[in-house]
Structure 1
């Protein structure tokens, strides 16, 4: 599923659901320091990685396969 910058993304988180807006798309491996933790996702053309900003301003890094 092709997603775009600015689109809302949702994922399972704990007993509920997380959501936020896509701010960047990566089709290669990417490592970001988010909330003090180094997070890596191995994005590619078939399963891109997304940097997503939540309503509270925190950012998460998710693969397309992790999203709903």
Structure 2
């Protein structure tokens, strides 16, 4: 399943779950600064890195695999 910009997601986070909306997808290496932390994800075709705005307004970067 290809995840696109605007897709609503829910994932496991610690002992709970987090939900949000995909703001951007990347099929290459991407580096973002989130809350003063530098985060790098290595996206690729078929397994893109995701930049997500969580339901509480915060942002995170994830990769499915």
Q: Same fold (TM over 0.5)?
A: yes
Larger helix share, 1 or 2: 1
Alpha carbon RMSD of aligned pairs, Å?
0.9
| CA distance in 1 between partners of 2:56 and 2:10 (Å) | 15
Cα displacement (A) at 1:36:
1.1
Q: Normalized against structure 2, the TM-score is what? A: 0.92
Gaps in structure 1 of 5+ consecutive residues: none
Larger strand share, 1 or 2: 2
1:3 aligns with 2:29: no
Gaps in structure 2 of 5+ consecutive residues: none
Aligned residues: 65
Q: Normalized against structure 1, the TM-score is what? A: 0.88
* Runs of 4+ residues over 3 Å off in structure 1: none
